[in-house]
Structure 1
Amino acid sequence: MTKLKLGPIRDDKPVKLAIELPAALLRDLVAYGQILGRETGGPPVEPAKLVVPMLERFVSTDRGFAKAKRGLGARDPS
């Protein structure tokens, strides 16, 4: 069994994205969605539904970003 970084995608409200992707990246997202669907026992996941969880995963595991964000936290009023 393949060990993917993403687990099942929760079924939230649809989000419309207006971005341009290189064709090779789109093909990889389609393949990733097919594999993820197989791994989780569901249908293939659409590329648009992969983007947010992938970005969330990327940001949450980026140690450099976490460190820089902590540094900004003291100055950030929000």
Structure 2
Amino acid sequence: MPLGTSYLTETVPYVASGVTQQLTPAQMNATFGAGNVKTATKSFSIVQNGQTINFIKNVPRYCDAGLLALLVLHNAPVV
């Protein structure tokens, strides 16, 4: 399921100061730092602090330090 399919866009919504913007993966890396943006190689869910977080294949997502550690701990399929 590559980016650009009819149901996946090439951008990811991001809210800053109450304003929603659409960021490309490159803009996400520039905003959050490349090491903090992970892209799932397959869709999966993971639970952090009682909340289910869904990762969708090929969709980049910002991850804080706690989520990054959890992804590593569970060998999550992210790059």
TM category, shorter: under 0.3
Q: TM-score, normalised by structure 1?
A: 0.27
Structure ID, larger Rg: 1
Higher helix share: 1
Higher strand share: 2
Instruction: Between the two structures, name the one with larger relative contact order (CA 8 Å, sep ≥ 6).
Output: 1
Q: TM-score, normalised by structure 2?
A: 0.27
